[in-house]
Amino acid sequence: MKRRNTQPKKEILSALKSAHSALSHEMIQSEMKDQMDRATIYRVLNRFCEDGLVHRIVGDDGKQYFALCLQCEEKKHHHNHFHFRCLDCGTVECLDKEIQISLPAGYVPEHFNGLITGHCRRCS
Ligand SMILES: [Zn+2]
Ligand SMILES: [Zn+2]
Ligand SMILES: [Zn+2]
């Protein structure tokens, strides 16, 4: 019996919540047991980004990952943390530590995009 996806938003959000790390489209698709089509996943994730529920991380591997936001508002993301991609297990996660950015005079920061690759706590 094929289950109908009546609540893709709810299911994607709960997948992101239980993952404790960022997820790519492929990861979400396999979480959904391939019962949700790519277009739906893209649409829901883009919506979440606009709503300030989720932020997008562009990995050095060229893939996009999505992680939950903790205190963002609609259309207004404010993040100053690094993201870490593990070269061993492939996990992408948000690092809690806030970063103090110091820029030359006259520069006004609005978006911060920092990614570190290496070996995560579990793999190192
Ligand atoms: Zn955010
Ligand atoms: Zn790892
Ligand atoms: Zn993050």
Rounded mean pLDDT of 79-88?
A: 94
Ligand 3 center from residue 99 Cα (angstroms): 12
The CA distance from 49 to 66, in Å, is: 9
Ligand 3 center from residue 83 Cα (angstroms): 6
Per-residue pLDDT band at 4 (split at 50, 70, 90) = low
The bridge status of strand 64-68 relative to strand 54-58 is: antiparallel
- Which pTM was predicted? 0.86
Ligand (nearest to CA of 71): 1
CATH of the domain at 96: 1.10.10.10
Residues of the domain holding 39: 7-118
Is 91 among the domain residues?
yes
Give the chain's domain count: 1
pLDDT digits (tens, 9 = 90+) for 7-58: 899 999 999 999 989 999 999 999 998 788 999 999 999 999 999 999 999 9
